[in-house]
Amino acid sequence: MTQSPNSSGISPAQSPESQPPVPPRAPFLLKRIFLLIVDPEWWAKSAMYPYSATFWALFWVTVLTSIILAMTLLFPVANNFVSMARDFAVSYDHNYPPMLLDNGKLSFTGPRAKPGQFIELTGENAQLVIDPSGQAKISPPDGDLMMNVDVTQSNIVVHSPLYQQPQIISLADIQGRLAVILNLPANAAPSANQTPPVTLDSTSLTRIVNIMGLVFLFLTVCLGWLLLFLQQAIWSVLMIILVAPITVMVCRGLGMPLRVAYRIGTAVMVPVLVVSCFLESLKIISLGNQATDQWETFLQLAVLLSPIPIAIWAAMIANRLFGGTKTSRR
């Protein structure tokens, strides 16, 4: 049995009222990000667009803010450390005896070497300690240091607030790379299967710092960016999961489904990440480090939990904008 067309020539099955609503086209990416940052109504309007539109805005904001934080927080510290190492290398022969790295073991050598000798250098936010004998009694590093490098007889140990555990690099692995950098001949090794011993003095240290300094800067910024990206991504996911049910409760009069509330929660995190990046770049707060006083603790908690009140605000805006209609469940 076929349906007869209505007076407009459209059958009931094909009438506009029976067709599912088509989601509106979202603005292009840069405009979308800009609107989410400056216009609170767009937090609520994000409910009208597919989730991918808001997701990609948050993704690229996370990438960019992580890069900015890595460059403003980590690059100056790493660059300061490289400058300190370069000054140390240039003046090394005047102040210290040569060091010998042989079979993965570091030691002072030459007539000026003394038992239990060590080197301690402290710069802005960085400290370097070379202690092959392990007998040095050095006070613990200042809590404000962003990087503390300890060179023992057989390892390089890097401490930083960015790492949950100290990063340990074997000097046996370093020795072969240093031999390549210094162009040491293969016949300098005691046997064919051994790496040539490396003598560290002003000439060799300066060459090493000039070559490895750029690599160190690049790796520090890249690793820092990755850790900061993961930190912000995890924070965003947790906040989105937390604020979505709250948004549904506030918008219960609209019959808003949870999947639509996720769009608003994702949109809210865009301006939150931008503001937190601004505050961290100015060193007003530091979300990755433990607070040192009550005021800093308050600021950290205020920023970390700020998506909750902002999501409630966005939900109230949604009630005002869509109060006369039911929110699309698509």
Regions of the chain short of the pLDDT cut 70: 1-23, 124, 137-146, 162, 184-194, 285-293, 324-330
Query: What pLDDT does residue 11 have?
Result: 42
Query: What pLDDT does residue 140 have?
Result: 56
| CB-CB contact of 146 with 77 (8 Å) | yes
- CA atoms of 79 and 86, how far apart (whole Å): 10
The two most distant CA atoms of the chain are separated, in Å, by 108
Please list, in sequence order, all residues whose beta carbon lies within 8 angstroms of the beta carbon of residue 146, skipping any fewer than 6 positions away. 73, 74, 77, 125, 126, 160, 161
Query: What pLDDT does residue 325 have?
Result: 54
Q: pLDDT tens, 281-327?
A: 887 766 655 556 677 788 888 889 999 999 999 999 999 988 755 55
Provide the whole-model pTM. Answer: 0.69
Q: How far is CA 106 from CA 100, 102, 154, 179, 265, in A?
A: 6, 7, 6, 14, 54
Rg value, the chain, Cα: 30
Query: What pLDDT does residue 51 have?
Result: 92
- CA atoms of 146 and 142, how far apart (whole Å): 9
